[in-house]
């Protein structure tokens, strides 16, 4: 095993795919998902601290063993108030929410239709469900319609993200929900990057007027705009009851820590009461995109395609040395050939941070582009010299 681990590390190094979780320093953060800065909000921290004192450091067991704690109940109420869904069920993370709901809805009688760019947790959930599955090209409604029309299974689930985690673009939820209603299927929308961002913070499902529809359910994470940790499935009370009884990551996983639940609940209430937070985030996102020379996206995530995985890693390292942290997405986070930098805006970025951060990104990207052009030119010239006509 040791020799194999060494050989795997060598392959990663050679391909520019080595990852590390370097210690956090004082950098300008254009990489995290703390879109509204709520992880450090005094009110969120206070709610979390109070829950620690009231309920202890851990949830002690699964909720089917130890019951539902007040912090979980309050979180689920607040998520419903924010997003407009009838019902919510908290999980220990967004990842386990996705695994739980997909495995609980799947099986041989359910066709899973999923966008090519959905998150790893959704792909894993589909695999775990052992359902027949069709991957459709990104944002291709015709392909979704064709898969729904041709299905032989009695049930179907269409799996999308409201705002895609790496590309930063949006799904056409109204059109996808229309198809699901026509073909009697369920649209499952991962709102990880939509809640706190789209629809004045209420999420893209609410913005499209789809919360409460029997053909639409969603998953959420508390770990991004809500600044905490944990996840949830949002939908009908019937769906919630089904999950309490069948979702393995709800039944066989220790419940969400009460302090994380309370932080997420307080953050959800703040987002609902202060729609200006999401507006400030979107303003900063626009400035970030414009100054870094990329087309503005639908939310906080700005995506900058970079030729190779090695170049993406090089640029991210150089920026880090300049005190700017950006996301670097390489395989297996993205398919081969589409490595990219992922820049994220936050509503609480100061004008100075935005200025310094975007100046550094623009300069390093321009240098990388001109180095790539010079090397392309050199290889053309070299070709001419060695192949005289």
Ligand X SMILES: Cc1ncc(COP(=O)(O)O)c(C=O)c1O
Interface ranges with ligand X (CB under 6 A): 93-95, 98, 119, 121, 161, 165, 190, 192, 221, 223, 231
Residue 348 Cβ, how far from ligand X at the closest point, in Å?
Answer: 20
Rounded Cα distance between 326 and 316, Å, is: 6
- Give 131 or 344: the residue with its C-beta nearer to ligand X: 344
Residue 176 Cβ, how far from ligand X at the closest point, in Å?
Answer: 16
Structure tokens at 371: 């180095």
Closest CA to 27 of 381, 355, 353: 353
- Give 132 or 168: the residue with its C-beta nearer to ligand X: 168
- Give 74 or 164: the residue with its C-beta nearer to ligand X: 164
Exposure string for 59-80, b = 16+ CB within 10 A, e = fewer: beebbeeeeebebbebbbebbb
Helix boundaries (H) for 56-110 = 63-66, 70-83, 94-105
Taking the CA atoms of 17, 23, 24 and 26 in sequence, report the sign of the dihedral they define: negative
- Give 127 or 291: the residue with its C-beta nearer to ligand X: 127
- Give 196 or 311: the residue with its C-beta nearer to ligand X: 196
- Give 162 or 358: the residue with its C-beta nearer to ligand X: 162
Q: Are 234 and 220 in contact (CB under 8 A)?
A: yes
- Give 34 or 41: the residue with its C-beta nearer to ligand X: 34
Residue 223 Cβ, how far from ligand X at the closest point, in Å?
Answer: 4
Q: Tell me if residue 211 falls in helix, strand or coil.
A: coil
- Give 24 or 387: the residue with its C-beta nearer to ligand X: 24
Residue 165 Cβ, how far from ligand X at the closest point, in Å?
Answer: 4
Residue 161 Cβ, how far from ligand X at the closest point, in Å?
Answer: 5
Rounded Cα distance between 18 and 326, Å, is: 16
Nearest-CB residue to ligand X? 94
Q: Are 361 and 292 in contact (CB under 8 A)?
A: yes
Rounded Cα distance between 186 and 86, Å, is: 16
Residue 108 Cβ, how far from ligand X at the closest point, in Å?
Answer: 26
Q: Taking the chain, what is the end-to-end CA distance rounded to the nearest angstrom?
A: 54
Q: Are 227 and 217 in contact (CB under 8 A)?
A: no
Q: Tell me if residue 109 falls in helix, strand or coil.
A: coil
Structure tokens at 298: 């639908």
Residue 93 Cβ, how far from ligand X at the closest point, in Å?
Answer: 3
Instruction: Render 253-279 in DSSP notation, one character per residue.
Output: SPPPPHHHHHHHHHHHHHHHH-THHHH
Residue 95 Cβ, how far from ligand X at the closest point, in Å?
Answer: 3
**DSSP count for the chain of H helices, then E strands:** 15, 11
């Amino acid at each position: 095993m040791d020799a194999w681990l060494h050989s795997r590390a060598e392959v990663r190094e050679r391909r520019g795919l080595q990852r590390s979780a370097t210690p956090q320093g004082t950098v300008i953060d254009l990489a995290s998902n703390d879109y509204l800065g709520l992880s450090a909000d005094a009110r969120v921290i206070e709610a979390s601290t109070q829950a620690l004192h009231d309920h202890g450091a851990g949830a002690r067991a699964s909720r089917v063993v130890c019951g539902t704690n007040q912090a979980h109940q309050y979180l689920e109420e607040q998520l419903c108030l924010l997003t407009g869904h009838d019902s919510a069920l908290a999980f220990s993370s967004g990842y386990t929410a996705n695994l739980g709901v997909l495995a609980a809805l799947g099986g041989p009688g359910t066709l899973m239709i999923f966008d090519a760019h959905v998150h790893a947790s959704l792909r894993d959930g589909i695999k775990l469900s052992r359902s027949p599955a069709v991957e459709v090209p990104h944002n291709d409604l015709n392909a979704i319609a064709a898969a729904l029309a041709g299905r032989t299974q009695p049930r179907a689930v269409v799996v999308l993200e409201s705002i895609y985690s790496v590309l930063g673009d949006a799904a056409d939820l109204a059109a996808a929900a229309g198809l699901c209603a026509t073909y009697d299927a369920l649209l499952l929308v991962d709102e990880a990057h939509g809640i706190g961002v789209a629809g004045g913070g209420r999420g893209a499902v609410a913005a499209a007027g789809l919360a409460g529809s029997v053909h639409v359910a969603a998953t959420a994470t508390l770990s991004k705009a809500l600044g905490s940790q944990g996840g949830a499935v949002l939908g009908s009370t019937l769906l919630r009851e089904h999950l309490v009884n069948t979702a393995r990551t709800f039944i066989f996983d220790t419940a969400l820590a009460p302090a994380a639940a309370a932080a997420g609940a307080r953050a959800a209430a703040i987002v609902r009461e202060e729609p200006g937070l999401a507006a400030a985030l979107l303003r900063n996102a626009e400035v970030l995109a414009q100054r870094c020379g990329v087309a503005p996206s639908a939310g906080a995530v700005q995506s900058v395609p970079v030729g190779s995985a090695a170049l993406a890693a090089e640029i991210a390292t150089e920026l880090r040395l300049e005190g700017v942290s950006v996301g670097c997405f390489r395989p297996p986070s993205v398919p081969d050939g589409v490595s990219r930098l992922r820049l994220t805006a936050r509503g609480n970025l100061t004008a100075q941070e935005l200025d310094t951060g975007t100046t550094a990104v623009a300069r390093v990207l321009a240098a990388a582009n001109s180095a790539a052009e010079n090397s392309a030119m050199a290889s053309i010239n070299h070709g001419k010299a060695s192949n005289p006509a």
